[in-house]
Structure 1
Amino acid sequence: MSLESVNVEELLRALAREDVHPCPAFRVQLTERLIAVMAARPRVLWWHPVLAGATLLLLLAALGWLLTPRVTGWATLVVERGEAQVTWQRPAYFRWSRSGASSLPAGAEFSLAEGDQVALSRDGRGKIVFPDGEQLRLMGETVLVLGELDPSRRVIRVHLLAGEAQAEVPPLPGRLFEVGTDAAAIHVRGTAFRTRVIGPDHTYSATDAGTTRVTLLDPAQGYPSVEVPEGYEIDAIIGQPLQVRPQRPRIDRLVLGGTEVAAEDRVVSNLAEVNICGKAVQGQGNAVLLLEGREVDRLPVSPDGDFCLRFRAPSEGAYALCVAIEAPDGMRSPCSSLSYRYDATPPSYLRLLEPLAPEVFGETVVLRGETEPGAQVRLNGKPVPVDPAGGFAMEWALQPGENRIRLEACDEAGNCTRLEFVLIRQ
């Protein structure tokens, strides 16, 4: 055994027990050897506490990593139009996290996790695709928070803060899909539905397929809830009872004289008869046409939800029409309104003020005239600018000899007044 491996204190105690009388030379050698061993011990043993500390730090780091929360599920945001702003937060280590905000243009995708907030621009459109195929379509100015996303339990909860979302949920067993607002919670399993936030105390929801259960978040009423079947809708308003009713129909086209035109809120025509066509979500019940609360036509809705109602104006004038759906149980939907004005009278006048004589000198002539305000003027088929008072002027190129001119003034309904004459270029 070398002296380096012997504990100095034990060596001194052993020497003290012996009746030894070393010579001076040995005493000097022993002293030098002990000093050398004592000087060498720190360099031999210094790394033991460092190694222990490093091991402890590694164990603490591993424990912190194990205790760091994990993202349980992901959803994909797809920006289809406009822009989207995503505010996100992700676990970093133990109780620490990192957060940020990402601005996404049209065509971009982003992986969402629990707690992320999505806000769409006014012209924005997008969708969120969930792990099991659920989709949530987002309209412009929609703001929502992904509250809970747990694929293992098949639980998805979304909180809609503003705007409108349209959900499509495949019918899988054991699933919970919920869209909540400040006023209501909508629970579904295998459903297509729409939810719109109208105000902090008012949420609108409509079921397009399957069934939803709507719970009013009103403690004063004991949190009432109702089922909303396919083709029905509901307004959940704090302080008011829940009332389920058939969905408002959609007017998508008009048939005027055998020609289909796109439906608008206000229609002006020179035809007395119009067919009002559209679609109801539920393919049963009757489509009803009302004029100032009086029923003027009624037809069964086709199995696909289509309908086409007929209205004939008794005389010229404006008519406020309303189309509603009456369900088999007798409940009637809110109205889809249409303003129809029948006008068969053409503009009362179309006058040519210049030139005063048919003979014209020069290659061009300025045609000036007037007609009823609001009428549109055409000169040989080409549009002519008309001022608010009905006056118009246009420079027109002339061929040598006779030039046939056709002026036409037409009102909004399509009624026209015509004026034809000949100008002679000298």
Structure 2
Amino acid sequence: MTGGERLKKFAGVAAETGAALLLVLALFWLFILFLFTVFPSGTPIKEMVSESGAASPLSRAGAKRPEAALQSLVRDVRCRRGDSVAWGDASEGMILYNRDAVQTFDRSGATISFAPGDRLAMGSNSMVVVTRLNETLEGGPRSYRVHVEGELRGSFSSAKRVRLEVATAGHLARVVPGGSRFTFTPLGENASSLTVHAGEVQVRGEDRVVRVPARFGVTLRRGVPVGPALPLPAAPRLKNDNLLYRFRLLPPRVRFDWTGAEGAYHFQLSAEPRFRKVVLDSKVNGTGFDAGTLEAGDYYWRVSRVEEGREGPFSRTGHCRLLQQLNPPRLEVDFPPPSVGIGGYRLAGRCQPGSSVYVNGDAAAMAEDGSFSHEIELRSGVNLIRVEAVDQAGNASYASRVVYGKE
């Protein structure tokens, strides 16, 4: 092969290699463009937390100051750091920093604690972003703006350590410093209801500020001016605030009833009287709730009325006990002597109060103390007297006697 041929072959290989490299680079840039199209940079909640494009001095310096902590997590709760796009599992006691986000899912909840007595409780399927407004200020009350989508309940002490603004449904609500309790309840994608149980919340409108005092509420709708605050509905009355269910093997279905107009109610059931950990938390249409089957034990329940999203105060707390009984009831019968004259005879005895007694299949007359009596007819010859006592759980005791009737 001559030198010219070798040079020509080398030039062909170099051209093919260059074309291959250009093709690889073109495919690489097309792949990057595809990633940016399908998975855009940033975070979906960026618009919620951005007030301006400038980063805070502390953010530029790389310093992080703890702002709050997660407490009382229930089921599936996620957390996203303010400088990250990735969501991760949250844990109880986790520290929150400026612009961190918290999200709950079905039947989940979380409590955000800013200081002792100053906390926010998230409901199911909710997302909250906490933004520090005066992070460069040393000393004095800390000021926060909380962006919320979903349900949020707040409880703040009178110490005035924290100043809070809540942004939701296109409106900004400022909590007046001091002791306060309030609830934001979602009413669809573009509306929320604000209920104030204690203290005062001021909602900023386009041309005025709407005051929402204690025991009042207001509806917030995106793009709609805030209307006047309306009083909260009254607390319902429980029909029976001391329920007792006895059972033997399978727990019965438990029913709770209260008085009030037809409409929406908020029902809560807890295993302890302060409702720190709720067993059931449901929105109910009507004046009753079937809780299904519950395990044996003591329960506490309460209910509140909801009108157009405004939730009134809870009723007094009711008590419900599910008592499992496996032992048969005590039964004592005053049988006649083995040989007795024929005719009428009043059989008497005693059993566990609340039980039912049957003599030869017929119900006996019962007293509140458990004593009973029943008139029987003794015939000539052999008479079998059979007595059965059944308690409210279905346990049964039996007693029988053969008596000879003589003329």
Q: In which range does the TM-score fall when normalised by the shorter chain?
A: 0.3 to 0.5
TM-score, length of structure 1 as denominator length: 0.41
Larger Rg: 1
Between 1 and 2, higher relative CO (CA 8 Å, sep ≥ 6) is seen in 2
